[in-house]
Structure 1
Amino acid sequence: MNALRPVRRTLLRDRAYEAIRDAIVAGEIEPGAVVRDAELAERLGLSRAPVREAFSRLVDEGLMESKPQSYTRVTPVVAGDVRDAAAVVGAMHELVTRIGVPRLFAADVEAMRAANERFATAVGAGDVDAALRADDELHDVLVRAAGNRAAAATIIRYTPLIRRLERRRFGEGTACRSTGLHERLIGACANGDTDGAVGVTAEIWRGLADMDATADEEAH
């Protein structure tokens, strides 16, 4: 009976949150779009309660804004918000890199290399979804190795704000540059060079924090 273990039950509010968050990040629900709980609940096949809970969480995380008795809508992509999020997420990645590098095994480094190969292939094919997924997988190796739950939670919370702009700017040269930075990061990790890995991580996130989102700002 050892094979029988408790099955993880995903809360409906979490399913609603993840689906709506991903649609916002992907641009399927555009900045400035007014969202209605009844409409999204029907589309998701859920009741309105978990969708409302998802809305509340997304407002708290900055992907939505709400005016009581008036509207709930997707926030615009604002340069300052992206830079602030990138600075915070970058600091957390530097932290997990410093903690995680000494804890890496050879298999972890190989997992990072494989993720970077998938990233490069996706960039070459213009597949933004696969590229961002591979990018997450690469950096998640260090997040898991560090084992710092507070840092991991902060990364999860604020990365979607950055991803919205990354998707829009995909293919403008930043993604291709990231492949090389990933290679340098992996090399430092393979050599156990913690300071070098932290330095490359800082360089990666400085580039994201400096992204100019002016053309993407929208007023509603």
Structure 2
Amino acid sequence: MPIPVGTPAVDRTLLRDDVYRRLRDAIVDGTFRPGEQLKDGDLAEWLGVSRTPVREALLRLGASGLVVALPGRSTTVSAIDIQVVRDAKDVVAAMHELAVRQVTSRLTKDHVTQMREANRRFAAAVASGDVTAALTADEELHKIPVVALGNQALEAVLERFDPLIRRAERLRFGVDGPTSVTRHNQLIDLIESGDADAAAALAFDTWHSLPADEQPDRRHPPAPAASTQ
């Protein structure tokens, strides 16, 4: 068949990234649980893509510690390892501290408004017990200074290690929600006042103080796994 002239090619980079994010989010939100096998054929059918971007995404997820691939066997979702979460927490806290310290003087009133709105949604979600909405709002709030800074190396580090913390957070949802709302407000106030050092210190403490040693909070279990068929 003749090849159409002038038709833009599919952006394979965007496709790979989208598949990676879909699978990453499905692990973080509990759709795929620890120990569950992930077969590239089933995942490709679920997402409506070929096996190639799925296999590439699984390799990236393996590098992040979210899946374990054994030669000749199916890839499985990794267990939540307390030490791994603790190590990731240290790295993520340092990255957010750096971002807030460097970008505070450059954030606009619109940025501050967006952070306050995200915290309002976070508070409402915590009050209603909506785990997904709370974690989404929390991620949006903390992402504003990171994106405003525009440090791609820093963003790459967070993309790799943040999901490990988010997955553990989901299992412990409800333990620290009200305190987080207050911390968020304090962080936003410090950023708005231009106190970069105090804001950076609070950003670090916010992430570094997340519980990583307790058993998961079973009062708020993850959502039931969805079918991949």
**Normalising by the residue count of structure 1, what TM-score does the alignment of the two structures yield?**
0.89
Q: Aligned partners of 2:103, 2:125: CA distance in 1, in Å?
A: 26
Give the CA deviation at 1:207.
1.2
Partner letter of residue 44 of structure 2?
Answer: A
Give the CA deviation at 1:13.
2.2
Please, which of 20, 23, 26 is the counterpart of residue 23 of structure 2? 20
1:129 aligns with 132
1:126–1:171 Cα contact (<8 Å) kept = yes
1:70-103 deviation digits (Å, cap 9, x = unpaired): 2311100010011111110110000000001011
Answering whether residue 170 of structure 2 is matched by residue 167 of structure 1, we say: yes
1:60 aligns with 63
Partner letter of residue 176 of structure 1?
Answer: P
Please, which of 199, 202, 206 is the counterpart of residue 200 of structure 1? 202
Between 1:93-102 and 1:152-161, the stretch displaced more is: 152-161
2:192 aligns with 190
1:165–1:213 Cα contact (<8 Å) kept = no
Partner letter of residue 32 of structure 2?
Answer: I
1:156-204 deviation digits (Å, cap 9, x = unpaired): 22111001110110012x1211000001101101110111101211220
Q: Aligned partners of 1:144, 1:51: CA distance in 2, in Å?
A: 27
Please, which of 141, 144, 149 is the counterpart of residue 147 of structure 2? 144
Q: Aligned partners of 2:214, 2:140: CA distance in 1, in Å?
A: 25
1:36–1:72 Cα contact (<8 Å) kept = yes
More helix by share: 1
Q: Aligned partners of 1:215, 1:129: CA distance in 2, in Å?
A: 16
Q: Aligned partners of 1:26, 1:177: CA distance in 2, in Å?
A: 22
Between 1:75-84 and 1:13-22, the stretch displaced more is: 13-22
**Partner of 1:73: helix, strand, or coil?**
strand
1:3 aligns with none
Q: Aligned partners of 2:64, 2:33: CA distance in 1, in Å?
A: 17
2:225 aligns with none
Query: Once superposed, which parts of structure 1, at least 4 consecutive aligned residues long, lie more than 3 Å away?
Result: 6-11, 213-216
1:78–1:214 Cα contact (<8 Å) kept = no
Give the aligned CA root-mean-square deviation in angstroms: 1.8
**Normalising by the residue count of structure 2, what TM-score does the alignment of the two structures yield?**
0.86
Between 1:147-156 and 1:57-66, the stretch displaced more is: 147-156
1:85 aligns with 88
In structure 2, the CA distance between the partners of 1:23 and 1:189, relative to structure 1 (3 Å rule), is same
Partner letter of residue 203 of structure 2?
Answer: T
1:17–1:58 Cα contact (<8 Å) kept = yes
Give the CA deviation at 1:213.
4.6
Q: Aligned partners of 1:53, 1:43: CA distance in 2, in Å?
A: 16
In structure 2, the CA distance between the partners of 1:7 and 1:166, relative to structure 1 (3 Å rule), is farther
The answer for unaligned runs of 5 or more in structure 1 is 1-5
1:74 aligns with 77
Give the CA deviation at 1:211.
2.0
